[in-house]
Every structure is written in structure tokens, then in C-alpha cells.
């Protein structure tokens, strides 16, 4: 059964490409036709206009979105991104991925996502606060601790999440910390949430590479995306003995064959950032001690491990043939197109999918939600231990599915998640149940 978007009929839409990954998985899982029909469409999609009074007195209107793709296993869960390329097609695709990510990690959530189309670096702190609160004003009836829970994503952070939680609480006239995760600690945030995506990816990498006898000290790594996730992961890998030879951000990258001093590079970026700004305007290209390369060059480096940790559609049919890495761990959402997958597979490259590798963020968001609702808060050590147990367990289960059916890890991840989604959807009743009259 072909799954296509009811909102975007273009064959090149991101959603069409994202949903095509299910086609392979359907061959290896027994799922009812009823469940498939329900997974074809998002449960609800919302587009809103957000008027913001700018610092100079002018009025600008921004376009915002929120999509709740599925809530069969629990309330929707997904981040909010601020980026110039945000569109309904992108947000719907991200909500679709979140649906399978939450099922894959066995979290009691469905999939959702949100975003606002803008360049956040062009706004002042006050303008960003007005925009963030305006977004909540526009979608307040669409979200809630038991309906749809927000979190940070690209170019959003704990400060912005705090504004959003506070605005929702104002609207509801009650403190509602569980509506947003990734908040500041003093507003009910969880220990370890800011670094959860990177830490979870680190656990996946350390679970997988020993299966190939790939030792850290003999492993070279290139990371595209030196932001709040990629930079943390780079330092974790560096401290564990991996040789990180290249990193990049939106402006370009640096490369050193003998390995980069990641802690010093991180300190450089942090120190050069103005404390008056929410976002870092500097780039790793400013570090001139190393060879300067482009983002495209980084993807093609002869390294053992390639980690795309930036945005979607970085590895495509156009450049997949030039990829030389043996292992790809997708930390970004959707960095590899479906057309690139068979090319990489033919080259013998192992791809470990985003819905598994970057699931640490939503997992600790789940922990934060649980802590908010119980009023009991965990230490950083407890969070890390629970995260490690969850990531290792689901990585091993996905690996076992891949071995059982001799299929790529991406397909195995969808099989694993689809099995749980199918069971939850079928529990509400199927055609066979009603036709057979069973009770």
C-alpha cells in the first residue's frame, strides 16, 4: 500500500520521501489494513499567523505550524523549530518521523511537530519572546500535557521553551510545566535534557561499533553540524578516544587528519559568542589553525564514521556515490533521502537511522514529562542511567530485527516501530474483529 500525503501531492515533497520508507518495512510486519489507512494521514494539522510588534514599532506577521500526526499510543510529542525553510510539508514529515521514533523507543507518546518560518538570528531577544508567546497564543487550544507536548528543536532552546510554558500557564490560569519539555531547570526542566540527543546517539554508537570490532582509538569521525547536538556528541566521542577529524556548521567546516581538539573548539565558539545574543553568530570556519572545508566536502571524507547532525536531505542520489564512510549515524532528522539509501547499501555502507540514533532527546523529554507530573525529580546520574538502558535496549532489539530478516537497520527500525503502532491501532478494533464477531 502506497502512503502519500493528503496535503502535499508533489512527488518530491519531503513527506512523500519520508513515508516511502514504510514500503520496505511492510514486507516484514503483519499489520492490518485498518492501521495502515490511519497511518496515511496526520490526525490534525494547524497553520497559524503570528503578528509580532518589532522593536522599531513595525508589525511583522510570521507563519507557524503544528501537526499532530498520531496519538494512538499517547499524546503527541515533538519539537518546535525556528528556521527559514520551515513549511507545512516539513513539519508534517517531522511529525511522521516522531510517530515512529516514539513507538520505536516504546514511549507512551504519539508523533507531533511544530515550527515557525523565519531567520531567528535576525530578531532581538525581545522580538523572539513576543514571537514565542504569540505562537502559544495561536495554538493553545491545540496543545496540552495530555494532548500534545512541545520541546526544543532547531534554533530553539530552554529559554524559548520557558517562555512557551509560561505563556500557556498564563492562558490556562494554572502552572502547567508538563506542556513543554526542554525547559530551564528552575521551571521544571530535567537534568540531562539539553545534552540528551547527543548522549543518546553516543550510547547507540557505542552499542553498534563493537559489533564490527571497531575500536574507538582506530575510528575516525566526521560530524556535519557543530551545534547544540553535534558539538556535544563530538566532545563525548573525543573523550572516549575516537579521532574526530572534521566538524562543520552552516558556514563551513574544518579538517585535520591527525584529529581535532574538540574541547578547545567548543570553548572557542562559546567564548566568542556575545552574551547579549541568544544565538552564536560565529562559525567553526573562524578557527584558522586547521584546513577549511565545505559542508559538501565533509560528507565525502574518507573516514570510518560520518555523522550528519544538521538538517534534512544532506545525502542524496547526487552525492551518495561519493560517500566514503563505512558507517553513517543519522543524528539530524531525515539527512538521507530515500533515493540515496540503495546507493549507500550497494556500496556496503551501514546506515543507522535518525528515528533510533537521535531518539535520546524525546526519551529524556519523556522523563521530564514524568517528573513534572509526579513532582519527583531525578539526578543527572539517574537520567543518564535510564537513558542508557532505554537506548541500548531498543538498539539491540532493532539490530536483532535487522539480523533476523537480513534487512538494513533503517527498515528494521520501521518494522520494530510499526509492529508496536499496529498493535495499538488494532486494539481499537479492526475489520476482521467486527466481521468475525469475536469478543
Neighbours of 269 (CB within 10 A): 19
Write out pLDDT tens, residues 356-371: 999 999 999 999 999 9
pLDDT: is 63 or 311 the higher one? 63
The mean pLDDT of 74-96, rounded to a whole number, is: 94
Same domain, 115 and 169: yes
Write out pLDDT tens, residues 146-201: 999 999 998 999 999 999 999 999 999 999 999 999 999 999 999 999 999 999 99
pLDDT: is 23 or 198 the higher one? 198
The total number of structural domains in the chain stands at 2
Question: What is d(CA 116, CA 179) in angstroms, rounded to the nearest whole number?
Answer: 18
71 domain residue, yes or no: yes
Q: CA distances (Å), 429 to each of 299, 380, 439, in order? A: 46, 42, 10
Tell me which of 280, 310, 340 is where a domain ends. Answer: 310
31 domain residue, yes or no: no
Same domain, 148 and 204: no
Same domain, 275 and 244: yes
Average of per-residue pLDDT values in the chain: 88
Contact 78, 115 (CB under 8 A): no
330 domain residue, yes or no: no
Same domain, 211 and 148: no
Neighbours of 212 (CB within 10 A): 12
Write out pLDDT tens, residues 293-346: 888 899 999 999 999 998 888 899 999 999 999 999 999 988 999 899 999 999
**Up-side HSE of residue 438: CA atoms within 13 Å toward CB?**
7
322 domain residue, yes or no: no
Same domain, 230 and 129: no
366 domain residue, yes or no: no
Largest CA distance in the chain: 73
Please give the model's pTM, rounded to 2 decimal places: 0.87
Same domain, 219 and 286: yes
Same domain, 116 and 77: yes
Question: What is d(CA 162, CA 22) in angstroms, rounded to the nearest whole number?
Answer: 36
Question: What is d(CA 67, CA 115) in angstroms, rounded to the nearest whole number?
Answer: 9
Q: How confident is the model at residue 66 (pLDDT cuts 50, 70, 90)?
A: very high
Same domain, 111 and 154: yes
* Residues in contact with 161: Cβ distance below 8 Å, sequence separation at least 6, in sequence order: 150, 151, 152, 180, 181, 182, 183, 184, 189
pLDDT reported for residue 280: 40
Same domain, 97 and 210: no
Q: Tell me, what CATH number does 303's domain have?
A: 3.40.50.720
- For residue 299, what are the domain limits? 196-310
Write out pLDDT tens, residues 236-295: 999 999 999 999 887 788 898 889 888 888 887 666 543 223 334 455 545 445 688 888
Active-site residue, from 113, 183, 228, 269: 113
Contact 314, 337 (CB under 8 A): no
Torsional class of 350: left (φ above 0), alpha (ψ -120 to 50), beta (otherwise): beta
Same domain, 201 and 282: yes
Active site residue 113: yes
Q: How confident is the model at residue 395 (pLDDT cuts 50, 70, 90)?
A: very high
369 domain residue, yes or no: no
Same domain, 130 and 238: no
* Residues in contact with 370: Cβ distance below 8 Å, sequence separation at least 6, in sequence order: none
Q: Is the pLDDT of residue 433 over 70?
A: no
412 domain residue, yes or no: no
Tell me which of 310, 339, 369 is where a domain ends. Answer: 310
Amino acid at each position: 500500500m502506497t502512503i502519500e500525503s493528503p496535503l502535499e501531492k508533489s512527488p518530491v515533497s519531503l513527506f512523500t520521501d519520508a513515508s516511502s520508507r514504510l514500503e520496505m518495512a511492510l514486507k516484514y510486519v503483519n499489520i492490518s489494513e485498518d492501521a495502515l489507512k490511519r497511518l496515511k494521514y496526520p490526525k490534525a494539522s494547524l497553520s497559524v499567523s503570528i503578528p509580532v510588534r518589532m522593536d522599531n514599532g513595525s508589525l511583522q506577521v510570521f507563519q507557524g505550524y503544528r501537526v499532530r500526526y498520531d496519538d494512538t499510543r499517547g499524546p503527541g510529542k515533538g519539537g518546535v523549530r525556528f528556521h527559514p525553510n520551515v513549511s507545512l510539508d516539513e513539519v508534517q514529515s517531522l511529525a511522521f518521523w516522531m510517530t515512529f521514533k516514539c513507538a520505536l523507543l516504546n514511549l507512551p507518546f504519539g508523533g507531533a511537530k511544530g515550527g515557525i518560518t523565519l531567520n531567528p538570528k535576525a530578531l532581538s531577544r525581545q522580538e523572539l519572546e513576543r514571537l514565542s508567546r504569540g505562537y502559544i497564543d495561536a495554538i493553545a487550544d491545540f496543545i496540552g500535557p495530555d494532548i500534545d507536548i512541545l520541546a526544543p528543536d532547531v534554533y530553539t532552546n530552554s529559554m524559548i521553551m520557558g517562555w512557551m510554558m509560561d505563556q500557556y500557564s498564563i492562558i490556562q490560569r494554572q502552572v502547567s510545566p508538563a506542556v513543554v519539555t526542554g525547559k530551564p531547570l528552575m521551571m521544571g526542566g530535567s537534568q540531562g535534557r539539553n545534552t540528551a540527543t547527543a548522549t543518546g546517539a553516543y550510547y547507540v554508537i557505542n552499542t553498534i561499533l563493537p559489533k564490527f570490532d571497531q575500536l574507538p582509538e582506530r575510528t575516525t569521525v566526521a560530524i556535519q553540524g557543530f551545534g547544540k547536538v553535534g558539538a556535544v556528541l563530538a566532545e563525548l566521542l573525543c573523550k572516549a578516544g575516537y579521532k574526530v577529524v572534521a566538524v562543520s556548521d552552516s558556514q563551513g567546516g574544518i579538517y585535520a587528519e591527525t584529529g581535532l581538539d574538540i574541547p578547545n573548539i567548543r570553548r572557542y565558539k562559546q567564548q566568542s559568542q556575545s552574551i547579549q545574543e541568544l544565538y552564536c553568530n560565529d562559525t567553526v570556519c573562524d578557527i584558522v589553525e586547521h584546513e577549511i572545508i565545505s559542508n559538501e566536502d565533509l560528507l565525502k571524507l574518507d573516514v570510518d564514521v560520518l555523522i550528519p547532525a544538521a538538517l534534512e536531505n544532506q545525502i542524496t542520489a547526487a552525492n551518495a556515490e561519493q560517500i566514503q564512510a563505512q558507517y553513517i549515524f543519522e543524528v539530524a532528522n531525515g539527512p538521507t533521502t530515500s533515493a540515496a539509501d540503495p546507493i549507500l547499501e550497494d556500496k556496503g555502507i551501514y546506515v543507522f537511522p535518525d528515528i533510533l540514533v537521535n531518539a535520546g532527546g524525546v526519551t529524556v523529554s519523556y522523563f521530564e514529562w514524568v517528573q513534572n507530573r509526579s513532582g519527583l525529580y531525578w539526578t543527572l546520574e539517574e537520567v543518564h542511567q535510564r537513558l542508557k538502558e532505554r537506548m541500548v535496549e531498543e538498539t539491540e532489539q532493532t539490530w536483532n530485527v535487522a539480523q533476523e530478516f537480513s534487512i538494513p537497520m533503517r527498515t528494521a527500525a520501521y518494522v520494530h516501530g510499526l509492529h508496536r503502532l499496529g498493535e495499538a491501532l488494532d486494539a481499537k478494533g479492526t475489520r476482521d474483529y467486527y466481521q468475525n464477531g469475536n469478543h
